[in-house]
């Protein structure tokens, strides 16, 4: 079954450390965790202490080197992004990595819908299994369809295409978000590893 630590290493490579880019609609983040979505996490108390003790921008290096903050972010990733989509139950690490990373960057419900859509368009007109309900929730039926799917490389490509398509839609609606194109598209990989 898929290993959270492997997926975390991939995603944290994209997320990096502390950031507070005014163009980022997510707002202030540390290791990809937004203050907006997790305001009561103890990681933000630690971030604020570094800012108070060292001032900005010197605090950034301290924040990025703080293992307590990194481990706190990792715990949030596990409970809020990995477990919620039952990624432990997936028997393909590359697809689990992809769903985790997409869930972190575009939302867990969006990642689940991408998977359900990809499974539906590759079920050989329902000869492999009946179409899934696209509800944004990964349950036993979705897991079973994925784990028994005969062409996981194709599923992986479709998941990445949908992820990339969403980035284009975001940038078309809000041109200021073009500032993130290089970073976002570094997450899109059509070659299953």
Q: Rounded CA gap, 182 and 103, in Å?
A: 19
Provide the pairing of β-strand 33-34 with 29-30: antiparallel
8 A C-beta contact, residue 163 and residue 106: yes
Q: What is the pTM of this model?
A: 0.93
pLDDT of 73-132, one tens digit each? 999 999 999 999 999 999 999 999 999 999 999 999 999 999 999 999 999 999 999 999
8 A C-beta contact, residue 188 and residue 163: yes
Q: Rounded CA gap, 118 and 17, in Å?
A: 32
pLDDT of 115-166, one tens digit each? 999 999 999 999 999 999 999 999 999 999 999 999 999 999 999 999 999 9
């Amino acid at each position: 079954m898929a290993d959270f630590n492997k997926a975390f290493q991939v995603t944290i490579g994209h997320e990096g450390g502390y950031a507070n880019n005014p163009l980022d609609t997510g707002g202030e983040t540390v290791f990809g965790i937004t203050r907006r979505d997790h305001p009561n996490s103890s990681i933000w108390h630690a971030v604020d202490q570094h800012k108070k003790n060292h001032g900005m921008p010197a605090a950034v290096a301290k924040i990025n080197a703080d293992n307590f903050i990194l481990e706190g972010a990792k715990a949030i990733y596990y409970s809020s992004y990995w477990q919620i989509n039952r990624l432990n139950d997936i028997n393909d690490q590359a697809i689990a990595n992809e769903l985790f990373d997409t869930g972190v960057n575009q939302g867990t419900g969006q990642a689940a819908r991408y998977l359900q859509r990809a499974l539906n368009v590759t079920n050989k007109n329902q000869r492999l299994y009946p179409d899934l309900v696209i509800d944004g929730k990964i349950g036993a039926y979705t897991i079973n369809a994925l784990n028994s799917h005969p062409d996981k490389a194709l599923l992986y490509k479709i998941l990445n295409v949908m992820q990339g398509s969403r980035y284009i839609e975001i940038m078309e609606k809000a041109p200021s978000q073009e500032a993130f194109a290089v970073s976002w598209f570094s997450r899109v990989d059509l070659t299953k590893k």
